[in-house]
Structure 1
Amino acid sequence: MQITRRAALLSALALAAPRGARAQPPLPPVLFVHGNGDHAALWMTTLWRWESNGWPRDRLMAVNMPDPLARDDDAVPQPGRSGSAEQTDRLAAFAEELRRRTGSPRIAAIGNSRGGYPIRDLAAHRGGGAGLSHAVLCGTPNRGVYDWPEIRNREFNANSDFLRRLNGGTTDVVPGTEFLTLRSDANDVFAQPRAIWSPTPDRPTGTDVDGPELRGATNLVLPGLDHREVAYHWRAFREQFRFIAGREPATLAVTAEAEPVLDGLVTSTRGGPATNRPVTGAVVEVWRVHPATAERIGEEPLHRETTGADGSWGPVTVAPDWSLEFVIAAPDHPVTHSYRGPYPRSSDVVHLRPARPLTAAERESGGGVLLFTRPRGYFGIPRDVVLVDGRQPPELRPGVAIAATATLRLPAAELGRPVPCIFNEERVVARAWPAAENRIAVAELTW
């Protein structure tokens, strides 16, 4: 059944691929690797931009690392977390799958944050240029996030066995593979001289804003962008495309399709760190909603599916201008009502994670909880306009962009009314649900 559904979706995506593009030489397949704790869905808008510039869908592959969070000690197994060697093994298998699928002997790879580590390791210790033509590392903490002795062998420690092995030579690049790094000027929370992200914000880290750079690589600075934006922003896409394609992209915008087809996986946040392992028995509904009020349109959802062993919840066909509500009812998780703006193009990485558990106080309050979240970047104050229900969230502080989620708690009397959530020019309207029913709402930004 899994093979049949996957084949059907790929067929639908192929039919929706752009037509009329000028004939070009074969384009290298591109592998996309997410960062610590993340999943393939973060590359969705980047994939759309590559497709809008004529890159065939079957030559683009965004992967899910099963246990995306790093261990506290890279050498010590830890439930639900992965070590550096495991990440490289997984990436090597994904790279071989992409080469086999496309018939190309060499591929390009793009990684965000931790996702750059296995790309470097693959190039340096798994054959280098023989299989990897380009390596693009976006916000990867190549010199570590800190150098603290009490967590000396955590993967992000500058003195970890892993980073000392990667950084111990006279150069950081590998013959036969072209390397590009993209970093912020000073707005990357994990490339800072002091640990502003920690409970000890004044503690020196031993690194600085230029920590993502590599000796021997092409190193570019994208001023003002944050830790995730240096991978997922349109400015980052332009540099990625130019480096791999050898030319400017024809467009930085996303070209809409007439009937986007959406699919993805439901994965777990239960009982520990978030993973990308599929959830069986989750019920997913997809509703069309009014963009101004989040009111459901129609008496029945567009789609309802109970996930099997593969975790797949789709596919569903939508229009490129529809606002949507995804309802994810997964065993032992809160029922999550995820409100999202339109999907202009097809995607098979619309992965759904239920929201965090509600606290006892939240469930007993009689009201509701709404999370405003930006998966592909952070909220920067005063760089960005961030408004939830007409107010700037009080937890957002000026300075380096550090938070990707804001929380609104509503009393019972205000449940069910529209709540506008604004990030610059992007707007998502959501509705809060009763926390007493173990329900939580999420307004999720696309861009």
Structure 2
Amino acid sequence: MKTMIRRAGLVAALLCFFAACAGDSQTATDTSATDTNVEVCDSNRTPVVMIHGFLGAGDNYGWHTMRFTANGYCPESLFVFDWNTLEQTDQSPDLAAFIADVIEETGAEQVDLIAHSAGCALSYAYLGAEENAALVRRFVYIDFSPQESLPGPDGEVTTLALWAESSATFPGEDPDAEPVPREIPGAENITLPGSDHYSVATSEDSFVAIYSFLNDGEEPQTTAFVSEDEVTVAGRAVSFGENAPLAGGVVEIYTYDPQTGVRSDAGPVYTITTDEEGHWGPIQVEPGVHYEFWVQPLGEGEMAVHYFPAPFVRSNPFVYLRTMPPPTSFAGLLLGILPRTAEGANVVVFMQTRVLNAATDDLLIDGHQVATPEVASIDKSTVALFLFDSNDDGSSDLTSVGLFEQFPFLNALDIFFSADPQRGIAVQLNEYQLTVPSVPSEEGAMVLMLP
């Protein structure tokens, strides 16, 4: 077992080891991709700042980050900006401070800015100031409400607007309203065939469009996640929706058998304490091995989380571990209804690259078909599906939980899973299959990160 406590000096040394000392160490508030080991990269490329949308976090860009590094971007030139998506105040000053730090750290004169969904509104607010617009070379606007003009006080920011084919309306809008033209006048407007509101920001086609726009029409050499013999991962532990960092939290990392769902008898391969900004790692992992991340918060009454990501094949600095917000928070009021018992398990299906679609997906959890039209029709844009015994009756009636329907991207079904670590819970999403340990809900919620 390896115990790691992240401190600024230690992190700088580790980053230099894994990234060949390609740049200065990151500040406490920055989240950059410096944690990876990559091929030879071009340090002259413009730094990229990526902004997630509502209920999102920096890991929404983990897939594109791996594609960027596979195409010659230096890890230390890639950044994500995490923000509280449930906060109603203007957070553009925070974004301005973040971009100023990126420019100071990298020595660049400008950045390229990418935003998805509600992150686009935040970006437009930021770019409304002349001094901010001057710092952005190119802007990628991904699937939010159409705008009347380009960003910037005089519409001066060169912009690519990517639109999802399936988003006739946006989450939260009136589906019966007359459709608004999907465009920003003066921008390069592209609708990606077959895309949904989430995949338009994560798919291979999305990356090709973004990369070509940022690189004067040049297409990427690859859109695949080029495998590496030595894989390192790192990220942050932050609360769901609010992205408040988990400071001083303990993360235990285990391996398990994906055929049986049984943990290795050897105990945790790593035990990590998160730093004051929720950062953890970097750590080296075995390619293709199945890992469980057990995140243990410090606050009284807060629920632990057991994360089950897909096996890693390439270094990724943006592996996020979302914690359940405390009961006193807005999101905590919703998630506080999850039961905590020794007999049952809480399972959360989290789609990493697209929405769950009942028309095209078969999702079997412990033998139950959960990709039903009631919770996974394409217009619902379901990214996270909560499965738990909402009736507290020890049975599964597969009815939807109405409270979750009030939130975009979320849904829930009543299902009882017996908490038996020796039995495991079988998971099958189309061709992707595995069995995960069945964790009693009193020990935390299970989050299945499905590709």
Instruction: Give the TM-score normalised by structure 2.
Output: 0.78
Preserved CA contact (<8 Å) 2:202 2:353: yes
Instruction: Give the gaps of 5 or more residues in structure 1.
Output: 70-80, 144-166, 196-203
1:431 aligned to which of 427, 437, 442: 437
Q: Give the C-alpha shift of residue 267 in structure 1.
A: 2.0
Preserved CA contact (<8 Å) 1:417 1:431: yes
Preserved CA contact (<8 Å) 2:239 2:245: yes
Change (3 A) 1:68 1:313: same
Q: Give the C-alpha shift of residue 58 in structure 1.
A: 1.0
2:164 aligned to which of 175, 184, 199: 184
**Structure 2 counterpart of 1:300:** 267
Query: Alpha-carbon deviations, 1:90-125, whole Å to 9, x = none?
Result: 111121122222211111110111111232233332
Change (3 A) 1:172 1:256: same
Cα distance in 2 for residues equivalent to 1:107 and 1:268? 28
Q: Give the C-alpha shift of residue 60 in structure 1.
A: 0.9
Preserved CA contact (<8 Å) 1:285 1:326: yes
Q: 1:245 aligned to 2:225? A: no
Q: 1:405 aligned to 2:384? A: yes
Q: Kindly indicate which of the two structures has a greater share of residues assigned to strand.
A: 2
**Structure 2 counterpart of 1:334:** 303
Secondary structure of the 2:206 match is helix
Secondary structure of the 2:196 match is coil
Q: 1:344 aligned to 2:349? A: no
Q: Give the C-alpha shift of residue 128 in structure 1.
A: 5.7
**Structure 2 counterpart of 1:62:** 80
Cα distance in 1 for residues equivalent to 2:55 and 2:221? 33
**Structure 1 counterpart of 2:12:** 7
Query: Alpha-carbon deviations, 1:124-165, whole Å to 9, x = none?
Result: 32336521111001112245xxxxxxxxxxxxxxxxxxxxxx
Secondary structure of the 1:313 match is strand
**Structure 2 counterpart of 1:225:** 195
Q: How does 1:109-258 map to 2 (within 5 A)?
A: 109-127=113-131, 130-142=134-146, 167=148, 174=154, 176-187=156-167, 190=170, 194-195=174-175, 204-205=176-177, 208=179, 210-211=181-182, 213-246=183-216, 247-258=218-229
1:373 aligned to which of 335, 350, 357: 350
Q: Give the C-alpha shift of residue 175 in structure 1.
A: 5.3
Secondary structure of the 1:263 match is strand
Q: Which amino acid aligns with 1:68?
A: T
Q: Give the C-alpha shift of residue 89 in structure 1.
A: 1.1
Cα distance in 1 for residues equivalent to 2:160 and 2:297? 40
Secondary structure of the 1:301 match is coil
- Percent identical residues: 24
Preserved CA contact (<8 Å) 2:151 2:157: no
Secondary structure of the 2:279 match is coil
Instruction: Give the gaps of 5 or more residues in structure 2.
Output: 1-5, 21-35, 326-331, 389-414
**Structure 2 counterpart of 1:158:** none
Preserved CA contact (<8 Å) 1:282 1:307: yes
Cα distance in 2 for residues equivalent to 1:399 and 1:352? 26
Secondary structure of the 1:54 match is coil
Change (3 A) 1:285 1:243: same
Change (3 A) 1:188 1:379: farther
Cα distance in 1 for residues equivalent to 2:419 and 2:76? 49
Q: Give the C-alpha shift of residue 367 in structure 1.
A: 1.9
